[in-house]
Amino acid sequence: MIGYAFTGSFCTLSASLAQLGELISSGYDIQPIMSETVYSTDTRFFGAEDFRKEVESLCPRKIIHTVTGAEPLGPKLPLEYLIIAPCTGNTLAKIANGITDTAVTMAAKAHLRCDRPMLIALASNDAMSQNLGNIAKLITRKSVYFLPLSQDDPRGKPHSLVADFTRLKEGFYAMKEDKQLRPLFV
């Protein structure tokens, strides 16, 4: 089973949802996970209830959206793989520094404590400033992989990096072979 987690980069949720659909179409069993923010926040991109219904229409499993719901994902209900798409800079920083105060960060901790593979599709406005050290910390960690990243708006948001969501399936297959999809920065 694959854990598929969403965090609050709301402008990339549609791109992530399309990739979730691709994995499901390929026959993968998915456990959806959402940060509490994604689970409950209405934005100009999605209403929270609409987004939950969209995910639930694709996945037969209930969405895990609390810390206590995510805690068993390591030893008790092990996931084979975990994908965090999108992963915000805030979530990235928490994972890199061992903070487990959301459903997604708890799922990551529970998953990584068993050295199981995790794929991160980063979408962060501060990736090349405050979060650069956290990217470096996680790139060197066993079992952590990233989707290729690029600057989405070099002039308007010079510190921003966004994963190429169209390569999620390719990144997933590379992760399954214990490989980092390259080039990482495009």
Domains and CATH numbers, the chain: 2-176 (3.40.50.1950)
Across 103-122, average pLDDT: 97
pLDDT for the residue 15: 98
pLDDT for the residue 75: 79
Q: Is residue 179's pLDDT more than 90?
A: yes
What does R_g of the chain's alpha carbons equal in angstroms? 15
pLDDT for the residue 74: 82
Euclidean distance between CA atoms 117 and 125, whole angstroms: 25
Question: Which SS3 state, helix, strand or coil, does residue 20 take?
Answer: helix
Find out whether 107 and 82 touch, Cβ atoms under 8 Å. yes
User: How many other C-beta atoms lie within 10 A of the C-beta of residue 118?
Assistant: 25
Closest CA relative to residue 78, chosen from 104, 52, 49, 110: 110
pLDDT for the residue 76: 85
Q: How confident is the model at residue 16 (pLDDT cuts 50, 70, 90)?
A: very high
Question: Which SS3 state, helix, strand or coil, does residue 62 take?
Answer: coil
Q: Determine phi and psi for 136, rounding to 5 degrees.
A: -60, -40
Question: Which SS3 state, helix, strand or coil, does residue 163 take?
Answer: strand
pTM above 0.95, yes or no: yes
In degrees, rounded to 5, the angle at the alpha carbon of residue 10 between the alpha carbons of residues 69 and 27 is 60
Taking only the tens place, the pLDDT of each residue in 67-110 is 999 999 987 888 999 999 999 999 999 999 999 999 999 999 99
Taking only the tens place, the pLDDT of each residue in 131-174 is 999 999 999 999 999 999 999 999 999 999 999 999 999 999 99
Euclidean distance between CA atoms 4 and 139, whole angstroms: 20
pLDDT for the residue 170: 98
pLDDT for the residue 48: 98
**Could you say which DSSP state residue 25 is in?**
H
pLDDT for the residue 77: 82
Closest CA relative to residue 6, chosen from 59, 53, 65, 76: 65
**Could you say which DSSP state residue 185 is in?**
B
Across 15-31, average pLDDT: 98
Quote the mean pLDDT of the chain: 97
Closest CA relative to residue 146, chosen from 164, 160, 131, 166: 164
